[in-house]
A and B are shown apart, each in its own frame.
Chain A
Amino acid sequence: MASATTSRFSRSALIKLAVGLVLVGGLFAVPRYVSSPYALHIMILIFLSTIMGESWNILGGYTGQYSVGHAAYFGVGAYTTVMLMQFRQVPPWIGVWAGIAAVLVVALIIGSICFRLRGPYFVLASIAVAEIMRLSATNLDKFTKGAEGILATEIPVFIIGEHVVTDFLTKVPFYYIGLSLALLTIAVTWAVQHSKLGYYFQAIREDQDAAHSLGINIPLYKNIGLAISATLTALAGSFYAIYVGFVDPSTVLSLDLSVQIVLVCIIGGIGTIYGPVVGALALVPLSEALRSNAIAEGLFKSGIVDPASATGTFLKENLAHAHVLIYGILVVLVILFMPEGLLGFLRKLGARLKQGRA
């Protein structure tokens, strides 16, 4: 971290910058060459996971406060944007600011209560608060339409002056929004890591009492971490709501979602800038492959298993339903054998290869 700042203009840094720019440029060019809506959909899901993972990472990875209630911020962002659009005809690009404001209020309340707790007690409190939000959204059905959810039918056309920027009818605008938001969250994380905030967050993570004695105002910095994290999560929620066009408590406010957000980080590599990106790249295609039964199809096509055999029928019928199970097993394996996540594992592997060559 610190050594990177001293050698800011070294050759390897320049190479990294160049590779990064080419990658980003390539990503912006993708919709010109890829027309398959499904491929774009997968990319958008990867962006969404990246945004959620990076957001959580600031509070969980850097500050060490393991919130398992981030669905609260995601859901409040999503609901605020959709409700304003649907019931008050407020366009989402304005509604999202209201969503962020609402989330900041929620975060401030949650922070002032839950940050008195440490370790597992904080985790439990964060789950409890998210569950309260979910139950509220389910039961206040005059306000939120309850468990039925809200279908977004009124996404307005985005016009600047006379020029129609987009009508949101294809996946392309969502691709660009998702990519931009993902880059934004990565940039925010980079800025945090290379500032006083990053040092203070990590000091709190490593040893709260020591941090306190070194002049760090613990509640203040925890709340700053939460505010940044919650704001970015709200962006992810708003984006999701407009993209999918539907919100209900059991998706955008669920414990499942909270866990999903944490997993992106843990699998990818916690407390690192690119860990959540790696996590999203691994988890989204994996869960899609499992859900769409691509694994069984692959086994049949490659001739390893005969689709007509008993095993084949069994796999065809059950593998798709077992996707949660397989997903769970993989997660356990990664946690057991790659405690620093995929990114940490890849880095170690790279270092070992380099050593072998030298």
Chain B
Amino acid sequence: MAILEISHVSKFFGGLAANSDVSFTMEAGMIMGLIGPNGAGKTTLFNCITGYYPPSKGEIIFKGRRMNGLQPDKVCKLGMVRTWQKVRPLAKLSVVDNVMVGALCRTNSLKVARAIALEQIEVVGLSHKTDFLAGSLPIGERKKLEVARVLATKPELLLLDEVMGGLNPAESEEIVRLILDIKARGVSQMVIEHDMKTIMRISDRIVVLNSGEKLTEGSPEEVVHNQAVIDAYLGESHA
């Protein structure tokens, strides 16, 4: 069953097309990698999907429902939530309070929210930092906090925008394990990542964007051997 259908989505900023005529379908339970050189329109597409920008053209269908024009909070309530490339911790709140804000999306009880939050904090491995202020965490733990917070909203589809950016190899490896763990729980994920090795390893399917357009789509195997992808990343002289 398709959990997300992107059909002919374009987003214009003035005359600039950040996304133009992008279409693809994502099956439930899979990890979809979204790659492309800088400025390819990956984050813009995330913003369109999660309601931060209305797409200029095209449709976004989530679980059979048209999402165009829905605000991010409604999108989250329907089960689709994103993390931020530049992390956004609620700095003056503790780790557990941060995650509780996410959990309160599904409950009005602080007690229930706290229980959900503690559970998700354990999943991402931050239990030793529960009562620390979010603003005091180093970058690796902030990224984990970001993931715990979105998990607490009980999503069906998670959009991860460069959760491994700026992390050292050991930390990246932990996040990889976390992403695979989340997949094992049946949550679908769309992942933007720059590290090719990692994205090839975790993705079931990959969409490549370049200059706002979809260049190609396929299994990791197909994508690495695609001539257009190699050209886009390395320049045509290497072809």
Query: Is A202 in contact with B153, judged by CB distance below 8 angstroms?
Result: no
Query: Is B110 in contact with A195, judged by CB distance below 8 angstroms?
Result: yes
The contact of B101 among A6, A203, A217, by CB within 8 Å, is A203
Known: A1-B97, A199-B100, A202-B90. A213 touches B50 (CB 8 A): yes
Query: Is A206 in contact with B72, judged by CB distance below 8 angstroms?
Result: no
**CB within 8 Å: A-B pair count:** 89
The size of the chain A interface, using a CB distance under 8 A, is 25
Please give the distance in Å from A119's CB to the nearest CB on chain B: 16
A211 at the interface (CB under 8 A from B): yes
The contact of B96 among A2, A200, A214, A215, by CB within 8 Å, is A2
The prevalent SS among residues of B at the interface is mixed
In chain A, positions 194-232 with a C-beta closer than 8 Å to chain B are 194-196, 199-200, 202-203, 206-207, 209-218
Query: Is A199 in contact with B71, judged by CB distance below 8 angstroms?
Result: no
Q: Output the nearest chain B residue to A212 by Cβ-Cβ distance.
A: B72
B149 at the interface (CB under 8 A from A): yes
A3 at the interface (CB under 8 A from B): yes
* CA gap between A13 and B149 in the complex, in Å: 30
B109-130: contact bitstring with A at CB < 8 Å (1 yes, 0 no)? 0110110000000000000000
Which B residues are CB-close (under 8 A) to A207? 88-90
Query: Is A214 in contact with B81, judged by CB distance below 8 angstroms?
Result: yes
B53 at the interface (CB under 8 A from A): no
B93 at the interface (CB under 8 A from A): yes
Please give the distance in Å from B54's CB to the nearest CB on chain A: 14
The contact of A215 among B77, B84, B114, by CB within 8 Å, is B77
Known: A1-B94, A206-B91. A213 touches B100 (CB 8 A): no
**Chain A CB within 10 A, most for which of B52, B96, B97, B150:** B97
Please give the distance in Å from B114's CB to the nearest CB on chain A: 7
* CA gap between A203 and B100 in the complex, in Å: 10
The size of the chain B interface, using a CB distance under 8 A, is 33
Which A residues are CB-close (under 8 A) to B91? 206
* CA gap between A2 and B114 in the complex, in Å: 8
Q: Output the nearest chain B residue to A220 by Cβ-Cβ distance.
A: B73
B45-71: contact bitstring with A at CB < 8 Å (1 yes, 0 no)? 000001010000000000000000001
* CA gap between A196 and B108 in the complex, in Å: 6
Which A residues are CB-close (under 8 A) to B102? 214-215
B139 at the interface (CB under 8 A from A): no
Q: Output the nearest chain A residue to B76 by Cβ-Cβ distance.
A: A215
Which B residues are CB-close (under 8 A) to A213? 50, 52, 72-73, 76, 81-82, 84, 150
* CA gap between A211 and B114 in the complex, in Å: 17
Query: Is A206 in contact with B110, judged by CB distance below 8 angstroms?
Result: no
Q: Output the nearest chain A residue to B50 by Cβ-Cβ distance.
A: A213
A5 at the interface (CB under 8 A from B): yes
Q: Output the nearest chain B residue to A198 by Cβ-Cβ distance.
A: B110
Query: Is A206 in contact with B93, judged by CB distance below 8 angstroms?
Result: yes
The contact of B90 among A3, A206, A212, by CB within 8 Å, is A206
Please give the distance in Å from A63's CB to the nearest CB on chain B: 13
Q: List 11 A-B contacts (CB under 8 A).
A: A1-B93, A196-B113, A199-B97, A199-B101, A206-B90, A207-B90, A209-B52, A209-B88, A210-B88, A213-B82, A215-B73
- A207-B89, A209-B88, A212-B52 known, 17 other contacts, Cβ within 8 Å: A1-B93, A1-B94, A2-B96, A3-B131, A194-B110, A199-B113, A200-B101, A206-B90, A206-B92, A209-B52, A212-B73, A213-B50, A213-B52, A214-B149, A215-B104, A215-B105, A271-B92
